[in-house]
Structure 1
Amino acid sequence: MDEYAELLAPIRQFLQCETPDAWVQKACLPENLPIILKDHLLCELKAAQSAMFLIRKYAVDKESAATLLEWFKPYESFAYDRIGDVHTLRNKNQISKQILARKQSPYSQDLIDKMVLLIKEELHHFYQVLEIMHERHIPYDGITAGRYAKRLFSHISPHDPKTLVDKLIIGAYIEARSCERFAKLAPFLDEQLSNFYISLLRSEARHYQDYLHLAQLISKQDISERVHYFGTIEAELISSPDEDFKFHSGVPTH
């Protein structure tokens, strides 16, 4: 992992705490691999959905909004209705039309382009996790959401543009924490999973920076105080006891 030290240094500085060793120890147990993979699978979809909802609500024209919904259909049908499988989802990560800003949108094409690239990468990662599960005969039978994202989103400002800025900051923390956890887990996993998690580090690191950049671009004030505020909440969720073991959960209680 030495070659990734430079990549991970700003992420570790950005996060207000490290993942506790107790979580890493539990996550490395073979019997917990299905939970980690199933939750990781859904995390990739949710990350893509969050980016899609943001640009649908704030930035894209009507036709582009419909195109985005169509793009997500096969993934959401699989995740929520168990329709399809690893074979039917192959090569679905294509988008037929350009995603364009609505007229007189206060948000730039830069926001849209960054979010569309993020969506493509997250959906590609979703499929990669699904392939690994398929190879290992781990069925996808659904998984309940942990407390992490729900608690973070419960602190969002109710008024735009602060709402959008807060969502982007939270997106940055989720991506940064994912990156940090991939790096923590990689040395303890088998070669295939270790290589896969290491391969995700670069894109996850870029995603967190994109979110922060866009948040500052949209905000009329300096976002440092708000970033610190959400960082404190995020660190408390990671470092406090948590009965529900998930990819972004806190310290295991058992």
Structure 2
Amino acid sequence: MESSPLNTEFSQLLAPILGFLHCATPDEWLAEARKPEHLAALLVDHANCEMKAAMSAHRLVRRYCLPKDKRKLLPNLDFYKSLDALPEKGEVLGKQALTEDNRRVFDELAKNELLVKMVRLIQEELHHFEQVLEIMAARDIAYATLSASRYAGGLLRHVRTHEPAAIVDRLIIGAYIEARSCERFARLAPWLDDELARFYLSLLRSEARHYQDYLGLARDYAGRSIDDRVAFFGAREAELITSPDDQLRFHSGVPTGSH
């Protein structure tokens, strides 16, 4: 039996996510993922997922918030570590010690909702990445090379090639990735030790907000109903989650041999 159920706050937070996803995490995945011998690999994959989430959002900022000839001004993820908190009106402010190149980036960035939400998301994902590394270091788990799961690629292969359809699809995919992460953190947490359980539950709020941000941006960019595309990607996501998978990763499907 699992330990005590999530409290009311987490249950309310998860309710829209469970309604958004087309399937729950299969029990077969959970049965494998909770085994102590898989913890190191899952933590490494979790760290990779946090970094990939930050990189994906960074690519959206480069492509859709900067003119093509200015994209080189936003060089890498380190840029976001030098940003202060975002003020309410959506402008991005930097610390006084910003370099001249970084100041030029601020001058060039369009002040739009995509920028504001993606910068906040990137900062949070980078923080989560560092938190996972700290947990791994405390447990003497090396940050080793680990192959990626089929999950993200299996969704991205369906992205349309014309705009704004392409960004709408990418944003919908982002919503599904964040929603699935949130659902799996909640499913896995009761089976983990106290430190990891608290950490995974602490991620639920940000992952749930990221899912909402991505979905809201997709609707804004589309300018019309996206229900058909949301349903399409929901079905593809569920196929990846419920079909046999020869890898065990944070977003993998049913482990091969668990039937």
| TM-score (norm: length of structure 2) | 0.85
Deviation at 1:59, TM superposition (A): 1.1
- C-alpha distance in 2, partners of 1:159/1:167? 12
The structure 1 residue matched to 2:224, chosen from 221, 225, 239, is: 221
User: What SS does the aligned partner of 1:46 have?
Assistant: helix
1:85 is aligned to none
Alignment pair present for 1:2 and 2:7: yes
Quickly say closer, same or farther: Cα 1:101–1:8, change in 2 above 3 A: farther
1:183 is aligned to 186
Between 1:60-69 and 1:25-34, the stretch displaced more is 60-69
Q: Which residue identity is paired with 1:141?
A: A
1:206 is aligned to 209
- C-alpha distance in 1, partners of 2:221/2:209? 18
2:88 is aligned to none
- Unmatched segments (≥5 aa) in structure 1: 74-91
Alignment pair present for 1:93 and 2:81: yes
1:70 is aligned to 76
Alignment pair present for 1:126 and 2:107: no
1:87 is aligned to none
Alignment pair present for 1:42 and 2:30: no
In the TM superposition, structure 1's runs of 4+ consecutive aligned residues that sit over 2 Å from their partners are: 60-73, 92-103
1:139 is aligned to 142
- C-alpha distance in 2, partners of 1:61/1:157? 21
- C-alpha distance in 2, partners of 1:175/1:40? 12
Alignment pair present for 1:54 and 2:60: yes
- C-alpha distance in 2, partners of 1:64/1:34? 40
The structure 1 residue matched to 2:23, chosen from 17, 22, 37, is: 17
- C-alpha distance in 2, partners of 1:18/1:234? 11
The structure 2 residue matched to 1:196, chosen from 193, 196, 199, is: 199
- How many residue pairs get aligned? The number is 233
Q: Which residue identity is paired with 2:139?
A: R
Deviation at 1:58, TM superposition (A): 1.1
CA contact (8 A) 1:168 1:212 kept: yes
- C-alpha distance in 1, partners of 2:107/2:11? 37
Quickly say closer, same or farther: Cα 1:124–1:65, change in 2 above 3 A: farther
CA contact (8 A) 2:58 2:77 kept: no
CA contact (8 A) 1:172 1:211 kept: yes
Q: Which residue identity is paired with 2:82?
A: Q
CA contact (8 A) 1:59 1:101 kept: no
CA RMSD of aligned residues (A): 2.0
Larger Rg: 2
The structure 2 residue matched to 1:250, chosen from 250, 253, 256, is: 253
User: What SS does the aligned partner of 2:249 have?
Assistant: coil
Q: Which residue identity is paired with 2:130?
A: Y
User: What SS does the aligned partner of 2:247 have?
Assistant: coil
- C-alpha distance in 1, partners of 2:131/2:64? 30
The percentage of aligned residue pairs carrying the same residue is: 52
Deviation at 1:253, TM superposition (A): 1.1
Matches within 5 A, 1:103-114: 109-114=112-117
- C-alpha distance in 1, partners of 2:179/2:108? 30
The structure 2 residue matched to 1:169, chosen from 155, 172, 176, is: 172
- Unmatched segments (≥5 aa) in structure 2: 1-5, 84-97
User: What SS does the aligned partner of 1:69 have?
Assistant: coil
User: What SS does the aligned partner of 2:76 have?
Assistant: helix
Q: Which residue identity is paired with 1:240?
A: S
The structure 2 residue matched to 1:155, chosen from 158, 170, 175, is: 158
